[in-house]
Structure 1
Amino acid sequence: MDLDREDLILSEDYVSTIDNEFINISSEFDVVHFEKIFDVEKSKFVINLIVSVLNECMNELAILRSVNLQNDLGLNPDKLLQYTTVEERYMGQENHAEYRINSTNSNFDKLAKDINMFYVLFKEVCQEIRAYGTYNVMQDTFEIIKRMQKEEEDLLEDEANQEKVIKDLVNCREQERIENIHTIEETNSKIQKLKFLVEDIYIYGQHEVQYFNKWEQSRMEQNILKNKGKEQHYETIISKTNIKMQQENRCDNELERYFEETRNDAMEEIQQWMKQYDEDTEQLESNIAELKINLDEITEQRIIANEKYAKRQAEIDDWLEYRRIKEAKELQRMKEIKAATKIQAWWRGVMFRKQLGPYRKKKKGKGKDKKGKKKGKK
């Protein structure tokens, strides 16, 4: 059956539907189902039935192949589906949809490839069933498809995780870029401020240098004028000092003459005083001799007076001791008299209170008692 591509418009949904049918075909070929058929009855009828079904599938695939003839890669009966790793399938490939299971492609490359794969698979299965009554080729092919599909699902899941990580890294990079931009802007602002500050400092330094030079020049002129005034002042002082030195020299000469005359006068006066000293010394020595004689006499008189004083002092001490003893005895006698008087008074009081001795009550007669009673009645 020959159909042109222009007679049939295939959309992406149609291609996806066909691709899903191929996956359903692979899942519907249940190994257990075939084993049950072959276990029940291994007859030519069943084999021919299965082969006819597979031939019908091959005819439908041929129709699809004729529809997608533009992208057909050509049948290769000796080339079955072989397991290839994810790296071998996708590394260096620009169009990954051509190799991805359950994917759609507007160029229909993968559709043509899947048609060829199933066509060759069904053909090999038919030959194996006719020859041996087994379908190992189909089992191996479906295992390869499931394994490759599982690897692709893992790869897609890992890709999603990697995209999330990449997105986080991109966000982090963008945030760092913004922070770096802010830092650069702040740095540029600081550099601009520092540049202005350096310019201000440079201009201020130039003005300072000019001001310092002018100030130094004016200070030198002022110091020159001041030093000239000081020089004139010191020259005046020097001239006055010279005049004063001349006067001092004159005074010094006059003082030397005065001191010489004064020294001569003092020497004469010293000679006179030495003579006077000798005379006074002789007079004092004679007076001292007389005083020594008088001192000896006074010393003898003092010794005699001391002896008399000691004798009389002993007599006075004896008399004072006698008077002290006498006064002590008199004082003791007075104390004894006073104590005896107090004792007698105390004893009289005791005898009176106790009615002892002469203070004892006397016994009275009867007549006297009656008189006493009568007197009491009155």
Structure 2
Amino acid sequence: MTSPMLCGVDAIHVATVLEDCCDQLSILGRIMPHSFDMRQDAYEIVDNDVSELLDSQRQLESRYQSVLARKMDVRQMTQNTDKLNLIEKEVLKTGGDLKNSTHVFRRSLRQNPLTSDNTAKIQHDRIFLEAVMSETMGELIHNRTFLALLEAVELEKKRKASLQNTIQKEEDGRKRVRQLQKQLLDVKKEKETEVQNREEMIAHLKDQLQEMKAKTNMEGKYIKKCAEVAVTQTQKRCFLSEQEMKDETENLQNQIDKETRANSEIEAFLRNHHSNLEKKLDFWQEKYEKDVEAKQHELDVLKASKAKDLERLQELTKLYKEYEQVVVEDRIEKEKIRRKDEMEAIELKGAVKVQAWWRGMMVRKGFGPYGKKKKGKKGKKGKKGKKKGK
């Protein structure tokens, strides 16, 4: 690896800076304690540091809130761009300070200063940095190059890369181990579940077997009892059927005896009845002949009477027609007379009305004898004399 060569002045300046850094690192290594573990005031020191960090954090937060409030007030009160830019820069600056303070505070809380690991690491890093700076300073003084610094940086990068690879492999191994442990737990749970299911199935099958045995025994007993009951019922039914058939046979025999006796009695009754009917037939036949002769005589008499009545009816019918003709003619004559009288009465009534109307007209109009008579002078004088006499 080739390193660029610096000029003499730059090499001297850089060597001076490196020498100053080496001196400061040497002084820091001498004044820095190895650890706070054995000190009595270790916790007090840590509490003070944490309190200082908290106070500074709270101050920055309150400052940031006040700056934001002032920014809102400025935006509402004015539209000046310069003031807005100035307050915006102040907000960004305060936000950056708060962010850095938060990062430092989080890192301080994450690293415990009471352990010896942090102090040992700091001492190791300080010694390594001091050695690299001393070697680089000597190289700058003699050769005006800084190849040792580049080599140290490359070695440190490789070491960190190797360490990072180791850490990555360790993390991958841990992940793989966790994954395998998880798979193992899953398989274990699955097997346990399967075993539990099989045990439950075995218990269930055992229960079913016991139930089947109990059921089989109960069914056997039930079938045996059913068979015994069926045999008993069959015997009972056969006995009852036999008894019923015997009773029915006796009943049928009694009915046969009754029917035989009834048949003989009915036969005797029918014979007596037949003889009586023959006697009645002879009587009614003789009576029929006599009644026929009597009715025939009555019929002949009725026929003769009917002929006489028919002849009489014809005569009366002829006489009725003659009388009816006379009555009709008389009614017609009376109707004519009635109509004539009515017509005369109507004409008389009309004439009376006409005469009355005419008389009324004559009276109202003063025609004929009902007219006004003309009186002479004598008459007038006589009236005057009468008035005076009054």
Question: What TM-score comes out, normalization by structure 2 length?
Answer: 0.43
Question: What TM-score comes out, normalization by structure 1 length?
Answer: 0.44
Q: Which structure has greater helix proportion? A: 2
